[in-house]
C-alpha cells in the first residue's frame, strides 16, 4: 500500500496532467502503480491523453519530492484520500473534475449525511455577520457539517460560530498543509482540527497563489449539498463558488440585501438570474432541504410492503436505513439497472411512499 501511495502522489505532481486525465488513467489501469509501469504508446492511446501527456508521465522523475511529502504525511498523521478510496468525499465524485487526491487533517466525516457550505465576502457588514451567526445557530440540531474557505469575513464567522455551537466544520485550503493562509487564523485552524478539520488538494510547499483559489472553491461547492451565499459583490471568489455549485447541480441559496449595497449585488444577481433560491431564514432553508423531522408510520409501511415488488421493497429498505440517500447510492446498493431503478422510483413516488429531495436525493415519505 505504501508503494501505491507513493505513485498516487507522484501522479498528481506531473505538470498539466490534471484531475480529468488522472481519473481516465485510473479508470483504464486500475491503480497509480500500473500507470507508471505502462508503456508510452499504451498511455497515449487512452482518450484525452495523447503522446505529449504520455511523454510527460514517462519522463517525470521528481520522486524525491514525493518522498518528502510522505515524510510530512507520516509526521503529522495526514490522511491521504485518493479518488478510489471509500473515505473520499463521495459528493465530489458527481462533479466532472473531482480532485484526484486530497490531503486531510481532522476528525469530521467528509461523507456526513448533511453538508452545507457557507461563503461570502471578506469585507462583511454587521448584517452579514448576524445572518451567518443566526444561520449556524439554527443548524445545531440538524447533524450538519459546515464547510467554508477559512478566509477573512463570512468564512471565518461561519467556522467560529460552528465551533461555538459544537458543529463540525471543515476549512478548504488553497495551499499545502505545511502553511496557513491567512496566518491570523492559525488559532482558529488549530481549534478546527479538534472539531472538523482542514482539507486541500495541494501538497506541502504549495503557496496560496491566486490561481489556486478557484480550484479550492470547486471543492467547497462540490462536497456540499447546498451552498449559501451571505454577502458578495458581483465579482469575486464567492461568485465563482456559487457558479460552480450551480453548474454541479447543487442547491444554491443567496441572502438578499439592499439594492444600493455593493456587498449584496452578487446575491441579488444570483436570485435575479434564478440560479439561487432566496434565503429568508434557517427554518425555511431546513424545510427546503427536506430535513424536517417526519413521524415514521412503521405499521403502515409494513402492510404496504405486501403489495410491492421485490425491487420496490429493496429500494424502500435502503431508504429506511437513513434519512435520505442520493440516487447514485441507490443505484449502487440496489443492484438495479438505471432504467429499472428509474421505474421503481417513479412507482414509489406515485404511491406517495418516497419523496424527491433537492440534490437528487430520496427519502421515505
- Residue at a domain's end among 260, 288, 316: 288
For 202, residues 6+ apart whose C-beta sits below 8 A from its C-beta are 103, 173, 174, 175, 176, 212
Q: What is the pLDDT at residue 309? A: 85
From CA 268, how far away is CA 229, in angstroms rounded?
10
Q: What is the pLDDT at residue 349? A: 83
Q: What is the pLDDT at residue 1? A: 63
Residuewise pLDDT in 10s, the chain (365 residues): 688 999 999 999 998 888 889 988 998 999 999 999 999 999 999 988 889 999 999 999 899 999 999 999 999 999 999 998 999 999 999 998 899 999 999 999 999 999 999 999 999 999 999 999 999 999 999 999 999 999 999 999 999 999 999 999 999 999 999 999 999 999 999 999 999 999 999 999 999 999 999 999 999 999 999 999 999 999 989 999 999 999 999 999 999 999 999 999 999 999 999 999 999 999 999 999 999 875 444 444 444 444 788 888 888 889 888 888 888 888 888 888 877 888 888 888 888 888 888 777 888 88
- The angle, 0 to 180 degrees and rounded to 10, between the axes of the packed helices 186-194 and 154-164 is 40
From CA 161, how far away is CA 138, in angstroms rounded?
11
Q: What is the pLDDT at residue 300? A: 45
Exposed, middle or buried, 288 (CB in 10 Å: 0-12/13-18/19+)? middle
* Same domain (yes/no): 142, 178: yes
* Same domain (yes/no): 267, 302: no
Domain that holds residue 197: 104-288
In the chain, the number of structural domains is 3
From CA 132, how far away is CA 135, in angstroms rounded?
5
Residue 51 lies in a domain: yes
From CA 88, how far away is CA 95, in angstroms rounded?
13
* Same domain (yes/no): 125, 216: yes
Q: What is the pLDDT at residue 298? A: 46
* Same domain (yes/no): 218, 328: no
* Same domain (yes/no): 126, 237: yes
For 34, residues 6+ apart whose C-beta sits below 8 A from its C-beta are none
Q: What are the angstrom distances between the C-alpha of 240 and each of 123, 142, 216, 237?
A: 17, 27, 10, 5
H or E stretch at 158: helix 154-164
Asked if 328 and 340 touch (Cβ cutoff 8 Å), the reply is no
Q: What is the pLDDT at residue 323? A: 84
* Same domain (yes/no): 129, 28: no
H or E stretch at 63: helix 63-76
For 127, residues 6+ apart whose C-beta sits below 8 A from its C-beta are 231, 257
* Same domain (yes/no): 242, 123: yes
* Same domain (yes/no): 183, 125: yes
* Same domain (yes/no): 144, 233: yes
Retrieve residue 282's grid coordinates: 434557517
* Same domain (yes/no): 203, 111: yes
CATH code, domain with 140: 3.40.50.450
* Same domain (yes/no): 49, 141: no
User: 352-362: buried (b, 16+ CB within 10 Å) or exposed (e) per residue?
Assistant: ebbbebbbebb
Amino acid at each position: 500500500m505504501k508503494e501505491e501511495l507513493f505513485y498516487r502522489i507522484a501522479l498528481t505532481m506531473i505538470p498539466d496532467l490534471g484531475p480529468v486525465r488522472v481519473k481516465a488513467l485510473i479508470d483504464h489501469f486500475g491503480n497509480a502503480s500500473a500507470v507508471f509501469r505502462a508503456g508510452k504508446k499504451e498511455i497515449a492511446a487512452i482518450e484525452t491523453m495523447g503522446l505529449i501527456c504520455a511523454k510527460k508521465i514517462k519522463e517525470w522523475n521528481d520522486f524525491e519530492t514525493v518522498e518528502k511529502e510522505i515524510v510530512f504525511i507520516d509526521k503529522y498523521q495526514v490522511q491521504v484520500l485518493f479518488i478510489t478510496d471509500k473515505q473520499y468525499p463521495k459528493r465530489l465524485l458527481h462533479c466532472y473534475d473531482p480532485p484526484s487526491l486530497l490531503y486531510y487533517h481532522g476528525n469530521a466525516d467528509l461523507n456526513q449525511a448533511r453538508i452545507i457550505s457557507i461563503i461570502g465576502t471578506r469585507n462583511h457588514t454587521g448584517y452579514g455577520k448576524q445572518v451567518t451567526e443566526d444561520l449556524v445557530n439554527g443548524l445545531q440540531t440538524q447533524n450538519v457539517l459546515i464547510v467554508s474557505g477559512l478566509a477573512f469575513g463570512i468564512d471565518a464567522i461561519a467556522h467560529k460560530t460552528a465551533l461555538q455551537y459544537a458543529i463540525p466544520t471543515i476549512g478548504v485550503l488553497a495551499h499545502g498543509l505545511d502553511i496557513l493562509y491567512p496566518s491570523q487564523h492559525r488559532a482558529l485552524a488549530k481549534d478546527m482540527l479538534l472539531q472538523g478539520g482542514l482539507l486541500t488538494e495541494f501538497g506541502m510547499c504549495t503557496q496560496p497563489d491566486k490561481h489556486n483559489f478557484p480550484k479550492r472553491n470547486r471543492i467547497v461547492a462540490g462536497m456540499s449539498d447546498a451552498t449559501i451565499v451571505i454577502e458578495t459583490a458581483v465579482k469575486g471568489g464567492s461568485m465563482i463558488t456559487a457558479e460552480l455549485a450551480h453548474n454541479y447541480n447543487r442547491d444554491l441559496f443567496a441572502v438578499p440585501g439592499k439594492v444600493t449595497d455593493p456587498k449584496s449585488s452578487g446575491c441579488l444577481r444570483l436570485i435575479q438570474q434564478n440560479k439561487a433560491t432566496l434565503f429568508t431564514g434557517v427554518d425555511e432553508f431546513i424545510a427546503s432541504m427536506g430535513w424536517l423531522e417526519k413521524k415514521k408510520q412503521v405499521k403502515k409501511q409494513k402492510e404496504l410492503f405486501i403489495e410491492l415488488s421485490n425491487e420496490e421493497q429493496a429500494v424502500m429498505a435502503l431508504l429506511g436505513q437513513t434519512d435520505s440517500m442520493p440516487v447514485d447510492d441507490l443505484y449502487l446498493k440496489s443492484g438495479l439497472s438505471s432504467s429499472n431503478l428509474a421505474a421503481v422510483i417513479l412507482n414509489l413516488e406515485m404511491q406517495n411512499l418516497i419523496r424527491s429531495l433537492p440534490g437528487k436525493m430520496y427519502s421515505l415519505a
